[in-house]
């Protein structure tokens, strides 16, 4: 295999395959299971509307599971024990390639993988015209892959806050898909499908550029300076009342540690 891997880009792709080949095979197995099930059961389920709805829900569940695994595969981060957070793998900075390629390869491969899985389900499993606006959904999924990886890298030091940000972005993309289902004449021109698609693509481009700049700064040692936002948060948490009595059990100590690290995010989750 050493003779085949002649470039750093090939090495990055091969590494992603080696680390996640079991999950990749699980996606292939899920797809084949769905395809065979639809081929065998379509005559039975398509004879009634209830059957079609049941089969459609079955396919949607398998599709969602497959896409979820793809996003898990491209959680392209590594934990840094010294810094205490998981971000872009620092070990890749020694490779003789531009930062643009270090960022572009996992993001580009992630887009290709998630679109391949989605198109496979839409074209080979779902019935004809069963999926409304497949092109828009493909755009939203691809854009979310870019935002997903960029957020994991840029907000690495903020830990669980990344999940809140990704949740907000995910809900926003769902709203875009819902708005596209309304009659276009009843919506503002700024909420038309073309405008929303352009804004989605623009958001993905901005996220990619931001990730590129962040990783380049990290590669040059720029992240050694304290982040002003994090410094403010740390000052607020330091000002909170501290526990002075001993913990009653190891479980209580662990709970207190987790609360101090991520507990302040709970009010944000229920603020709506």
Q: Write out pLDDT tens, residues 77-105.
A: 888 777 777 889 888 888 888 899 999 99
Residue 96: inside a domain, yes or no? yes
Better pLDDT: 226 or 238? 238
Residue 112: inside a domain, yes or no? yes
44-53, 64-73, 100-109: which has the minimum mean pLDDT? 44-53
Residue with the two structure tokens 């503002």: 188
Question: Do 91 and 77 contact (CB within 8 A), yes or no?
Answer: no
**What's the rounded Cα separation, in Å, for the pair 248 and 101?**
51
Q: Write out pLDDT tens, residues 155-193.
A: 988 877 888 899 999 999 999 988 888 777 777 777 888
Range 221-250 average pLDDT: 63
Q: What pLDDT does residue 205 have? A: 96
Residue 108: inside a domain, yes or no? yes
Q: Write out the two tokens for 152.
A: 């994991």
Q: Write out pLDDT tens, residues 98-137.
A: 899 999 999 999 999 999 999 999 988 886 656 778 899 9
Residue 205: inside a domain, yes or no? yes
Q: What pLDDT does residue 247 have? A: 76
Could you give the 3-state DSSP secondary structure of residue 221?
coil
Residue 188: inside a domain, yes or no? yes
Residue 135: inside a domain, yes or no? yes
- The answer, yes or no, to whether residue 255 has pLDDT greater than 90, is no
Predicted structure pTM score: 0.77
Q: Write out pLDDT tens, residues 16-46.
A: 888 899 999 999 999 999 988 888 877 777 6
Q: Write out the two tokens for 223.
A: 């992240």
Q: What pLDDT does residue 224 have? A: 46
Could you give the 3-state DSSP secondary structure of residue 127?
coil
Q: Write out the two tokens for 121.
A: 């389900």
**What's the rounded Cα separation, in Å, for the pair 220 and 226?**
15
What residues make up the domain containing 142?
77-225
Residue 122: inside a domain, yes or no? yes
11-15, 165-169, 197-201, 215-219: which has the minimum mean pLDDT? 11-15
Residue 186: inside a domain, yes or no? yes
Q: What pLDDT does residue 266 have? A: 57
What is the number of domains present in the chain?
1
């Amino acid at each position: 295999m050493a003779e085949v891997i002649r470039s750093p880009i090939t090495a990055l792709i091969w590494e992603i395959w080696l680390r996640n080949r079991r999950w990749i095979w699980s996606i292939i197995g899920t797809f084949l299971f769905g395809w065979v099930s639809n081929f065998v059961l379509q005559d039975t389920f398509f004879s009634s509307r209830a059957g079609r709805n049941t089969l459609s829900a079955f396919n949607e569940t398998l599709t969602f599971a497959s896409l979820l695994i793809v996003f898990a595969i491209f959680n392209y981060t590594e934990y840094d024990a010294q810094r205490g957070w998981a971000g872009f793998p620092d070990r890749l900075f020694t490779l003789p390639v531009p930062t643009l390629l270090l960022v572009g390869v996992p993001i580009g491969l992630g887009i290709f993988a998630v679109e391949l899985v989605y198109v496979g389900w839409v074209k080979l499993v779902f019935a004809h015209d069963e999926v409304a606006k497949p092109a828009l959904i493909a755009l939203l999924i691809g854009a979310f892959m870019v935002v997903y990886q960029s957020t994991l890298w840029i907000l690495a030091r903020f830990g669980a806050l990344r999940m809140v940000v990704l949740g907000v972005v995910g809900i926003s993309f769902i709203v875009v898909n819902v708005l596209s289902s309304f009659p276009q004449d009843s919506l503002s021109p700024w909420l038309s499908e073309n405008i929303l698609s352009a804004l989605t693509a623009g958001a993905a481009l901005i996220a990619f550029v931001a990730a590129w700049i962040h990783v380049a700064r990290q590669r040059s040692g720029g992240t050694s300076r304290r982040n002003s936002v994090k410094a403010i948060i740390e000052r607020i948490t330091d000002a909170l009342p501290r526990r002075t009595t001993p913990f009653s059990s190891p479980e209580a100590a662990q709970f207190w540690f987790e609360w101090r690290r991520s507990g302040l995010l709970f009010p944000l989750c229920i603020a709506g």
